[in-house]
Amino acid sequence: MELKLTDMPAVAESSEEMEHVKVLVLGAGPAGMSAALYAARAELNPVVLTGNELGGQASLTFSIENYPGFPEGVGGGELGDLFKKQAERFGARFEFDLASEVDLSSRPFHVKTYSREYLADSLIIATGASPNHLNVPREEELTGRGVSYCATCDGWFFKDKKVVVVGGGDSALEEAVFLTRYVKSVTIIHRRDAFRAGAILQHRARENAKIDFLLESVVTEIVGEEKVSGVKVKNVKTGEISNVETDGIFIFIGHTPNTELFKGQLEMDPKGIIVSDALMHTSVPGVFAAGEVMDKTYRQVVTSAGMGAAAAIEATRFLEREEVR
């Protein structure tokens, strides 16, 4: 289920509903739902604010074949539903709502949503990160139909096909090399004449016979009705437009963590990623982070789920220590 901000009710100037909870989870991707499961099994009755999308970015993947326990693969949306049902079985409550204001200056933490307010003894932030988009025609409509932001998730579906990769950083070249395990050919499209990726990655890409390069070029439009059939590319120096036939386009121009709500309240790196220790602790005691809001390395369903479990375990220990005091 997907909710849009425009579907949310207007924020009331003064909410009459104020609920005090032990654990409030922000986000319902793999990290958030795993956190909800573990917190529920600890009998903490967690409340999960799902945000815009139940299942997070994983829900956009047609089939996930690298999550343990599903040898035939599982749809991203289906996996999200299973996560939710399992957490609900132990007492987690999911609210299709979105946090609009957060105050972490004192405990219990104050969180205002589009319909009510919460006081939370502990907070688990699992709001994820959104892949940067090209914002060109047909990109949104063809997402999941040839437009992808994850080669590890979707590469197998392009076996023996032609694909393009957009980007010039480490992620773009790493994913391009990964895709050559499956695809017939990869064309890397980059707006500059040189890559930002490390020298070793550049060497690997250039030595790979399946990879071609289209530099000083940008994608201006994605072509296709039911699925991707090509892209229109513009040379940034000459302005010349060309058509490139392709079965898929993988976009790796960075991720933006969904952490705007917490700026000035939690320690973050220059890119807005929440700084946490190995135990998912943030700079504010009682606030924990899991998944892509703090993970700039793996960004996988299975690792996000593990981080969510760890965050919930640490939240449980934190609350137990507070009770002893």
Residues 30-44 as b/e (b if ≥16 CB within 10 A, e otherwise) read: bbbbbbbbbbbbbeb
303: nearest Cα among 270, 272, 274, 280? 280
Residues 207-236 as b/e (b if ≥16 CB within 10 A, e otherwise) read: eeebbeebeebbbebbbbeeebbbbbbbee
Whether 7 sits among the annotated catalytic residues: the reply is no
Pairing assessment for the beta strands 211-215 and 217-223 based on DSSP bridges: unpaired
Contact 144, 57 (CB under 8 A): no
Task: Indicate the CATH number of 133-251 among 3.40.718.10, 3.30.379.10, 3.50.50.60, 3.30.70.141.
Answer: 3.50.50.60
295: nearest Cα among 314, 313, 311, 318? 311
Residues 50-59 as b/e (b if ≥16 CB within 10 A, e otherwise) read: bbbbbbbbbb
The CA–CA distances, whole Å, from 66 to 12, 205, 240 equal: 43, 24, 41
The highest-level CATH class for domain 5-130+255-324 is alpha beta
The CA–CA distances, whole Å, from 109 to 20, 39, 99, 106, 284 equal: 10, 17, 12, 6, 11
Domain parsing of the chain, residue ranges: 5-130+255-324, 133-251
List, in order, residues 6 or more apart from 231 with CB less than 8 Å away: 164, 189, 219, 221, 222, 223, 243, 244, 246, 249
Question: Tell me, what amino acid is at 261?
Answer: L
142: nearest Cα among 78, 73, 229, 64? 229
**Which is catalytic among the residues 97, 121, 154, 295?**
154
**Which is catalytic among the residues 97, 150, 247, 295?**
150
Burial of 270 (0-12, 13-18, 19+ CB in 10 A): exposed
Question: Tell me, what amino acid is at 111?
Answer: V
Whether 150 sits among the annotated catalytic residues: the reply is yes
Confidence at residue 62, expressed as pLDDT on a 0 to 100 scale: 65
Matching fold, domains 5-130+255-324 and 133-251: yes
Token duo for residue 284: 């504010």
Cα–Cα distance for residue pair 92/108, rounded to 1 Å: 19
Whether 212 sits among the annotated catalytic residues: the reply is no
Full-model pTM: 0.77
Confidence at residue 12, expressed as pLDDT on a 0 to 100 scale: 41
Confidence at residue 60, expressed as pLDDT on a 0 to 100 scale: 65
Backbone angles phi and psi of 193, in degrees to 5: -95, 0
Mean pLDDT by 10 residues, the chain (325 residues): 40 62 97 98 97 77 83 90 96 96 97 95 95 95 94 90 96 92 97 94 96 98 97 97 98 92 97 96 98 90 96 98 83
DSSP state of 268: B
**Which is catalytic among the residues 121, 153, 247, 295?**
153
